[in-house]
Amino acid sequence: MNKRTYLSDLTALREFCDSYTLPSSRNRPPLIGVSANLEEEISTVHNDYTNSIIAGGGIPVILPVHTELAVLEEMFSSLDGLLLTGGGDINPLFYQEEPLPGLGNLSALRDQYDLMLLKMAYDRQIPVFGICRGHQVINVFFGGTLYQDIYSQITSSLLKHRQAVEGNQGAHYIEIAPDSKLKEILGQEKILVNTFHHESNKDIAPGFRVSASSSDGIQEALEPISDIGPQILSVQWHPERMAVANNRAMIGLFKYFIGQAQLYKHCKQLHTHIYTIDSHVDTPLFFTENFSIAERESGTKVSLPKMQEGLLDCIFMAAYLKQGERDEESLRQATERAVAIINQIKQQIEANQEWVGLATCPEYLYYLKKNGKKTFFIGIENGYALGRNIRNIARFQKMGVSYMTLCHNGNNGICDSAKGEPEHNGLSKFGQKVVQEMNRTGIMVDISHASEKTFYDVIRISRAPVIASHSSARALCDHPRNLDDDQLRAIASVKGVVQVCLYEGFLSQSHRPTLKDVIQHIDYIVNLIGDDYVGIGSDFDGGGGIEGCNGSNQMVNITRELLRIGYSFESIKKIWGGNLLRVMQAVQDYAAKKRR
């Protein structure tokens, strides 16, 4: 570390630059955004931060202090990790406290800048490492509070936390929690650190825990309670000052952080080469006159900005219909309602055509991604939309519908639902014709929500592969909405696909499920029937969403977790969209063949 070359001869300098050779691997180091300090209107970063990132295997990129949202957004499109550096005090108004006499100098611009950086990193699930002030920024951002001045606010005996010796030397010991990620990284339960602060974390933010403390009780490190999603690491001391002095433990912190950034970079690279599809969202339930899918926060888990953050290419917008009465007037209204929702989806696309397009076939998805746009497909959730008129299938196909879920939570004229008592003993005679007509018109048949008898009737009658747009493995969660092993094998036998759902009740009945449960369902199905027959259907905005994946912006975490447990590029490519696109193409090819 700290190897420097000083050249005052221009020829020698040129020769030095020309001595660069291609790296031994195409696996380029991750780009780490480094927050800057603000001193007399100058953005500054101590070399120890950047040198430590380089030593850890990353490439530092200094982020100048400003709050231009569009510029920061563009910066983050290239970053793989964020390092929040040290600096002055944080305005206590951010944690609903008044300033005390011991509070130091404040910078409103630096506060806003740091908090904006952290929000943007978290929105994208980018790894974060907070040091000193950065450690405190993380706690405040997630809902914690600070001691504005430990010497005036804490009455018990304190260690000296404003070190007077060189920063590369330790000043006091800290105790590391034995079951913490920090202990796993450092491999020690007690370590010597430096110290340069008078502010300190007080109330710990929800979802975090203290992973290290000094002997006087000052909280020296934080980490998330859960290890799902992006890794957030924060320490009160200055490991960069000790890392540049070749302290192996402190270099280890940077190597761990850079390793997490490398994993995120791998996810980004992978997503550029595959098609990522969420086969079921109920966002149209939230469409009102003033709703815009282009606004990040419209009370929904899905939006175009969130799709961009989560590296998600495509969603299937479901035109959901609650099961109602089946008299002529109710059926007519159901059809009209389906038409209205489809038109609302199209209006959202039309209003944002610079960013998104409507696809009805795989080829157009490929075209849209190549041109930097997101893709919406349209599905109908509940064949109640047909009424008794089978010609509505062709009508909906011409409107852009790509799949139809035969029923919802209740029987309809097509079939029996997974919820309720049998009425038709599976598919009705009308339902059999519906499946055949969907095959003829190239609309995928969706058996999610269907009863077991309906499921097997569809498997027997359909001449094209079928899908379960949002269902999971019953062996792991015994719910009638899930598919048992025989049903999963049946799906594979007709070369269909099961899209694992992110709805809590379909993932576990014994505990509050997390993303790890989603991965377990995917892995179970892959081990049972292979990686050609599983995908992802979140059910966002219809009840779907769990810790670790609670919106389109967090979908990248699925890729991260699959990589962590050893899934290959080819398997992830299939799971994220390849399998569903194969089914769609097969269904449309069958319809085209029937037309000839």
Rounded to an integer, the average pLDDT of 52-57 is 97
> What is the pLDDT at residue 3?
58
What confidence tens digit (pLDDT) does each residue in 139-158 have? 999 999 999 999 999 988 89
Contact status, residue 235 vs residue 253, Cβ threshold 8 Å: yes
Query: Quick check: 117 pLDDT over 80?
Result: yes
- The two three-digit tokens of residue 257, written as one number: 């952080």
> What is the pLDDT at residue 163?
84
Distances (CA, A) of 231 to 28, 155, 156, 171, 544: 20, 34, 33, 28, 23
Q: Average pLDDT of the chain?
A: 96
Contact status, residue 359 vs residue 346, Cβ threshold 8 Å: no
Question: Three-state DSSP class for 218?
Answer: coil
| C-alpha closest to that of 418 among 388, 386, 453 | 453
Contact status, residue 236 vs residue 132, Cβ threshold 8 Å: yes
Query: Quick check: 2 pLDDT over 60?
Result: no
Q: How far apart are CA 377 and CA 315, in angstroms?
A: 6
Q: How far apart are CA 315 and CA 535, in angstroms?
A: 13
State the DSSP H helix or E strand holding residue 348, giving kind and residue range, or none if neither: helix 328-351
Q: How far apart are CA 113 and CA 90, in angstroms?
A: 12
Contact status, residue 144 vs residue 232, Cβ threshold 8 Å: no
Provide the 10 A C-beta neighbour count for residue 495: 15
Proportion of the chain above pLDDT 70, given as a percent:
99
Q: How far apart are CA 166 and CA 183, in angstroms?
A: 26
> What is the pLDDT at residue 156?
86
DSSP 413: S
Left, alpha or beta for 71 (phi > 0: left; psi -120 to 50: alpha)?
alpha
Left, alpha or beta for 541 (phi > 0: left; psi -120 to 50: alpha)?
left
Contact status, residue 460 vs residue 427, Cβ threshold 8 Å: no
Provide the 10 A C-beta neighbour count for residue 208: 21
Up-side HSE of residue 221: CA atoms within 13 Å toward CB? 29
Name the burial class of residue 24, with classes exposed (0-12), middle (13-18) and buried (19+) by CB atoms within 10 angstroms of its CB.
Answer: exposed
- The two three-digit tokens of residue 114, written as one number: 């740091």
> What is the pLDDT at residue 6?
73
Task: Kindly state which CATH superfamily the domain 31-268 is placed in.
Answer: Class I glutamine amidotransferase (GATase) domain (3.40.50.880)
Contact status, residue 433 vs residue 390, Cβ threshold 8 Å: yes
Rounded to an integer, the average pLDDT of 106-117 is 97
CATH classification (class only), 273-595:
alpha beta
Rounded to an integer, the average pLDDT of 103-108 is 96
Residue range(s) of every CATH 3.40.50.880 domain in the chain:
31-268
Residue range(s) of every CATH 3.20.20.140 domain in the chain:
273-595
What confidence tens digit (pLDDT) does each residue in 478-528 have? 999 999 999 999 999 999 999 999 999 999 999 999 999 999 999 999 999
What confidence tens digit (pLDDT) does each residue in 223-278 have? 999 988 788 999 999 999 999 999 999 999 999 999 999 999 999 999 999 999 99
Rounded to an integer, the average pLDDT of 57-79 is 96
What predicted TM-score, i.e. pTM, was given to this entire model? 0.95
Rounded to an integer, the average pLDDT of 429-456 is 99
- The two three-digit tokens of residue 161, written as one number: 């936390």
39 contact partners, CB below 8 Å, separation of at least 6 = none
- 180-197: string of b/e by CB count within 10 Å (b at 16+)? bbbbebbeeeebebbbbb
What confidence tens digit (pLDDT) does each residue in 17-35 have? 898 888 776 678 999 999 9
38 contact partners, CB below 8 Å, separation of at least 6 = 44, 65, 87, 107, 109, 110, 113
**Binning pLDDT at 50, 70 and 90, where does residue 1 land?**
low
Q: How far apart are CA 30 and CA 259, in angstroms?
A: 9
Question: Three-state DSSP class for 502?
Answer: coil
| C-alpha closest to that of 56 among 263, 256, 255, 265 | 255
> What is the pLDDT at residue 27?
79
Q: How far apart are CA 519 and CA 563, in angstroms?
A: 11
Contact status, residue 297 vs residue 306, Cβ threshold 8 Å: no
Q: How far apart are CA 579 and CA 583, in angstroms?
A: 6
Query: Quick check: 573 pLDDT over 90?
Result: yes
> What is the pLDDT at residue 282?
98
- 404, β-bridge pairs: 380, 445
**Binning pLDDT at 50, 70 and 90, where does residue 392 land?**
very high
Contact status, residue 514 vs residue 558, Cβ threshold 8 Å: no
15 contact partners, CB below 8 Å, separation of at least 6 = none
Contact status, residue 85 vs residue 37, Cβ threshold 8 Å: yes
Rounded to an integer, the average pLDDT of 279-298 is 95
Distances (CA, A) of 189 to 116, 173, 590: 34, 10, 64
State the DSSP H helix or E strand holding residue 111, giving kind and residue range, or none if neither: helix 108-123
